[in-house]
């Protein structure tokens, strides 16, 4: 009996022990499940937070106002005596004129700005873009009553010179090429390419004989060439000569016209011909502005745009070769330019 009782007790203990182990395993499984759920939940929260941060960052970089600038110090000085350096670089076009206007507006809103340096390194560009920048300089000088000095580097020709004569003084580096006062217009004649090579015959319907003068679809006649000269080249040229005579008070209109045959001039020759006021570097331009503004120890800055993710994407997208109706129009339409023809 004792033996049977012992067996029964052993079996009972075994069953209870196995049940306890099963309960322990079940509890462990439950614990791991809870832990995994917590980890997954935390990961999801972290991913959500990162997504929100990413969206916020993109929004911050893409929503930078077009007129937002930071100040880059060129030469440290008294912060109440600022001189702002604004660049006119490369081919002058509508976009550069707009950017120039925004920087000029920022400078005009800052009471600590005592004068401007317009740093020009450009062979010129469109008639409209050059004239807009010139006009903004004149308005700033009149409205703000503060000096503006042009500082020429490298090439400051044609539209680059047009912009410069809007300033109070012009300083050029010794190696600067300037001048090239004049107008140029060029376009492609596609007649032989279209008709003889590609077998394409353009069909033009117009309301008047001169509506499509000049045309890329035929070689211009002498009458068409004279028409372009009288209607486009001459008025733009006369305006340029007048601008030079107005901006360079030491030159008469006739003297300006003699110099406005498209010739380029080195810095020394430009001084001799009274096209510029002096030869020097940025330090000399700064000294000139300080003298005109009657200040000392100027704090010289230039404006920089904050990084914009949207602008970056646009600049990258602009590298993709596209050929559409607008591109065809731009290629086939003559454009009047204040541009040194070497470029």
DSSP 40-103: HHHHHHHHHHHHHHHHHHHHHHH---TT--EEEEEE--EEEEEEEEEEEESSB-HHHHHHHHHH
What whole-number distance in Å separates Cα of residue 157 and Cα of residue 154? 9
SS (H, E, C) 289-336: HHHHHCCCCEEEEEEECCCCHHHHHHHHHCCCCCCCHHHHHHHHCCEE
Helix (H) or strand (E) holding 158: none
Among 93-97, 146-150, 184-188, where is mean pLDDT lowest? 184-188
pLDDT at 325: 59
What whole-number distance in Å separates Cα of residue 152 and Cα of residue 149? 10
Cα Rg, the chain, nearest whole Å = 36
What is the pTM assigned to this prediction?
A: 0.77
Superfamily of domain 70-184+251-306 in the CATH hierarchy: 2-enoyl-CoA Hydratase; Chain A, domain 1 (3.90.226.10)
Burial class (CB in 10 A: 0-12, 13-18, 19+), 300: buried
Q: What are the catalytic residues?
A: 158, 211
The predicted model gives 216-242 an average pLDDT of 93
pLDDT at 117: 98
Chain mean position to CA 309: 15
Around 151, how many Cα atoms within 13 Å sit in the side-chain half-sphere? Answer: 20
The predicted model gives 175-198 an average pLDDT of 87
pLDDT at 329: 61
Per residue in 246-290, pLDDT (tens digit) is 999 999 999 999 999 999 999 999 999 999 999 999 999 999 999
Q: Count CB atoms within 10 A of the CB of residue 309.
A: 15
* Residue of 67 and 305 predicted with greater confidence: 305
Say what angle helices 234-247 and 127-144 make with each other, to 10 degrees.
30
The predicted model gives 97-106 an average pLDDT of 96
pLDDT at 79: 94
Say which residues have a Cβ less than 8 Å from residue 18's Cβ, sequence separation at least 6: none
Q: Which residues pair with 149 in a beta bridge?
A: 117, 169
Could you tell me the CA-to-CA distances from 335 to 45, 188, 228, 323 in Å, in that order? 58, 11, 11, 19
* Average pLDDT score over the chain: 83
pLDDT at 27: 53
């Amino acid at each position: 009996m004792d033996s049977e009782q012992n067996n029964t007790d052993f079996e009972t203990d075994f069953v209870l022990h196995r049940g306890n182990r099963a309960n322990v395993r079940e509890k462990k499984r439950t614990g791991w499940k809870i832990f995994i759920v917590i980890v997954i939940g935390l990961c999801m929260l972290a991913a959500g937070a990162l997504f929100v941060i990413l969206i916020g960052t993109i929004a911050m970089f893409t929503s930078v106002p077009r007129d937002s600038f930071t100040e880059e110090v060129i030469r440290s000085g008294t912060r109440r005596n600022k001189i702002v350096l604004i660049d006119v670089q490369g081919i002058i076009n509508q976009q550069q004129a707009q950017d120039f206007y925004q920087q000029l507006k920022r400078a005009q809103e800052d009471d600590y700005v005592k004068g401007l340096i317009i740093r020009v390194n450009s062979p010129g560009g469109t008639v409209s873009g050059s004239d807009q920048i010139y006009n903004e300089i004149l308005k700033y000088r009149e409205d703000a009553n503060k000096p503006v000095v042009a500082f020429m580097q490298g090439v400051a020709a044609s539209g680059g010179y047009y912009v410069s004569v809007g300033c109070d003084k012009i300083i050029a580096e010794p190696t600067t090429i300037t001048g090239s006062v004049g107008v140029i217009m060029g376009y492609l004649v596609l007649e032989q390419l279209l008709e003889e090579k590609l077998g394409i015959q353009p069909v033009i319907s117009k309301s008047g004989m001169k509506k499509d003068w000049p045309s890329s679809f035929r070689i211009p006649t002498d009458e068409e060439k004279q028409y372009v000269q009288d209607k486009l080249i001459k008025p733009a040229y006369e305006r340029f000569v007048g601008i030079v005579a107005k901006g360079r008070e030491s030159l008469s209109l006739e003297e300006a016209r003699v110099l406005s045959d498209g010739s380029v001039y080195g810095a020394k020759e430009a001084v001799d011909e009274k096209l510029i006021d002096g030869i020097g570097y940025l330090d000399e331009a700064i000294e000139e502005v300080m003298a005109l503004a009657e200040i000392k120890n100027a704090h010289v800055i230039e404006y920089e745009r904050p990084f914009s993710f949207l602008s970056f994407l646009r600049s990258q997208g602009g590298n993709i070769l596209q050929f559409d109706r607008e591109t065809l129009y731009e290629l086939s339409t003559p454009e009047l330019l204040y541009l040194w023809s070497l470029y």
